[in-house]
């Protein structure tokens, strides 16, 4: 009963901030999600076969379900939801039912304003239900991407590091290989090359993991032609690891990044586009910036954040401008949101 009452209080705050109720479908086409978003949900989805042979699943994620409903034009662009997500976990004893309460802003181009709106609304919710010692930690995936694209290394390495940033263990393996100048083995390369020629014969508009065949071929063609030798791996890895160690008060982030740029002889405009995260200084709350935070969800593209109280996570969220395209939109659509962990309130 207490949890239900707290949820009602939070929903009042959502409504007061202009969020409208959306109830995304519980049952989704599992093959659609896998085809559009890649394999990241396959192992966690709870699936079953309908009488007509179609494979369906219980929604594994309310953000994804909300995005699908938005693309079907069945919802407002500024929504809140309350309900269950169903997914398996590799952790023993974990309940496969996740009770969630969240907000999303979809399709708005006011990135700075929207990022602030989502985080401030979640903070207001935490304070409203009298959470003690509320703290916020943030990162920005786009800062990492800006750094990688500014470093002088082969394009294939840039693509690889950005693509696998959300997989910390494999990412560390890539850094070790980059440091030792150990590229992919020849067997793997030859296999990929054969696949490249096979895909040239396929329908170029067909989507695979949210990208068209033509887009995949274009990137792989660049990879084939990219120079194979690279001698500055140690320097590049040192710079990347140094960036990922940044952990400071948000109020000191400008100076910290400026010192990082000077120390590593980088161009002054490397981090020119981080107005959104700088704008969070307006929050009446201590905010910590941790460069290595928020890498466990593949679809985040910008700000990622966590609000926590007494060492318990209250809510997590972030910006995910690529997700709606992977789910069928013709182009990237701006999106930001957050979900409250009801188990911890």
Q: How high is the pLDDT of residue 76?
A: 77
In terms of DSSP bridges, do strands 78-86 and 20-21 run parallel, antiparallel, or are they unpaired?
parallel
Q: How high is the pLDDT of residue 202?
A: 81
Indicate the DSSP class of residue 201. Answer: T
Tokens of residue 62, six digits: 């309310």
The rounded distance, in Å, linking the Cα atoms of 228 and 16 is: 56
pLDDT over 80 (residue 181): no
Tokens of residue 5, six digits: 């009452």
Q: Do 261 and 271 touch, CB atoms closer than 8 A?
A: yes
Q: Do 137 and 253 touch, CB atoms closer than 8 A?
A: no
The rounded distance, in Å, linking the Cα atoms of 154 and 223 is: 9
pLDDT over 90 (residue 265): yes
Please spell the DSSP secondary structure of 31-70, one letter per residue: HHHHHHHTTTTGGG--EEE-TTS-EEEE-S-HHHHHHHHH
Indicate the DSSP class of residue 175. Answer: H
pLDDT over 50 (residue 1): no
Which of these ranges, 128-137, 148-157, 184-193, 256-265, has the smallest mean pLDDT?
184-193
**Residue 155 binned pLDDT confidence (cut-offs 50, 70, 90):** confident
Residue with tokens 């590229």: 183
Mean pLDDT of the chain: 85
Q: How high is the pLDDT of residue 290?
A: 96
Highest mean pLDDT range out of 89-93, 194-198, 255-259?
A: 255-259
The rounded distance, in Å, linking the Cα atoms of 310 and 178 is: 39
The rounded distance, in Å, linking the Cα atoms of 31 and 46 is: 12
The residue among 17 and 92 whose pLDDT is bigger is 17
Which of these ranges, 199-208, 224-233, 234-243, 299-308, has the smallest mean pLDDT?
224-233
Q: Do 149 and 158 touch, CB atoms closer than 8 A?
A: yes
The rounded distance, in Å, linking the Cα atoms of 304 and 138 is: 6
**Residue 197 binned pLDDT confidence (cut-offs 50, 70, 90):** confident
Q: Do 337 and 63 touch, CB atoms closer than 8 A?
A: yes
Helices then strands, counting H and E runs in the chain, come out as 13, 14
Q: How do residues 92-132 score in pLDDT, each as one tens digit? A: 656 678 888 999 999 998 999 999 999 999 999 988 887 77
The residue among 222 and 42 whose pLDDT is bigger is 42
pLDDT over 90 (residue 284): no
Determine what percent of the chain is predicted with pLDDT higher than 90: 40
Tokens of residue 21, six digits: 């109720």
**Strand (E) or helix (H) holding 308:** strand 303-309
Q: Do 205 and 213 touch, CB atoms closer than 8 A?
A: yes
The residue among 69 and 42 whose pLDDT is bigger is 69
Q: How high is the pLDDT of residue 250?
A: 94
**Residue 264 binned pLDDT confidence (cut-offs 50, 70, 90):** very high
Q: Do 44 and 10 touch, CB atoms closer than 8 A?
A: no
The residue among 207 and 8 whose pLDDT is bigger is 8
Tokens of residue 281, six digits: 């200084």
Question: Domains, the chain, ranges and CATH?
Answer: 1-123+338-345 (3.30.930.10), 133-182+232-309 (no CATH), 184-227 (no CATH)
Q: How do residues 311-338 score in pLDDT, each as one tens digit? A: 788 999 999 998 888 888 888 899 999 9
**Strand (E) or helix (H) holding 136:** strand 134-140
The rounded distance, in Å, linking the Cα atoms of 86 and 70 is: 20
What pTM value is reported for the model?
A: 0.81
Q: State the average pLDDT over residues 178-196.
A: 66
Please spell the DSSP secondary structure of 223-292, one letter per residue: HHHS-S----HHHHHHHHHHHHT-EEEGGGHHHHHHHHHHHTT--TTTT---HHHHGGGGSSS-EEEETT
Which of these ranges, 144-148, 211-215, 237-241, 258-262, has the smallest mean pLDDT?
211-215
Q: State the average pLDDT over residues 268-285.
A: 88
């Amino acid at each position: 009963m207490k949890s239900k009452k707290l949820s009602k209080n939070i929903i009042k705050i959502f409504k007061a901030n202009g969020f409208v109720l959306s109830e995304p479908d519980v049952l989704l086409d599992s093959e659609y999600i896998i085809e559009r978003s890649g394999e990241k949900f396959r192992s966690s989805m709870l699936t079953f076969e309908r009488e007509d042979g179609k494979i369906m699943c219980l929604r594994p994620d309310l953000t994804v379900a909300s995005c699908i409903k938005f693309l079907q034009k069945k919802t407002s662009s500024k929504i809140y939801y309350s309900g269950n997500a169903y997914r398996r976990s590799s952790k023993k004893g974990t309940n496969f039912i996740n009770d969630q309460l969240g907000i999303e802003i979809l399709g708005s181009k006011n990135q700075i304003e929207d990022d602030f709106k989502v985080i401030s609304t979640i903070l207001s919710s935490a304070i409203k239900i009298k959470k003690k010692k509320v703290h916020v930690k943030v990162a920005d995936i786009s800062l990492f991407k800006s750094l990688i694209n500014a470093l002088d290394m082969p394009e294939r390495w840039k693509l690889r590091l950005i693509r696998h940033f959300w997989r910390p263990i494999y990412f560390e393996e890539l850094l070790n290989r980059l440091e030792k100048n150990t590229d992919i083995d020849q067997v793997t390369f030859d296999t990929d090359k054969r696949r490249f020629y096979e895909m040239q014969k396929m329908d170029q508009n067909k989507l695979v993991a949210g990208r068209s065949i033509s887009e995949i071929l274009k990137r792989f063609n660049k990879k084939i032609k990219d120079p194979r030798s690279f001698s500055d791996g140690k320097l590049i890895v040192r710079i990347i690891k140094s960036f990922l160690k940044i952990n400071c008060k948000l109020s000191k982030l400008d100076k910290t990044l400026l010192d990082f740029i000077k120390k590593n002889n980088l161009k002054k405009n490397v981090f020119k586009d981080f107005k959104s995260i700088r704008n969070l200084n307006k929050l009446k709350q201590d905010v910590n910036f941790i460069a290595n935070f928020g890498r466990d969800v593949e679809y985040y593209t910008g700000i990622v954040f966590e609000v926590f109280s007494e060492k318990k996570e209250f809510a997590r969220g972030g910006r995910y401008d690529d997700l709606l395209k992977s789910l069928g939109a013709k182009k990237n659509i701006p999106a930001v949101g957050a979900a409250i962990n009801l188990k911890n309130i």
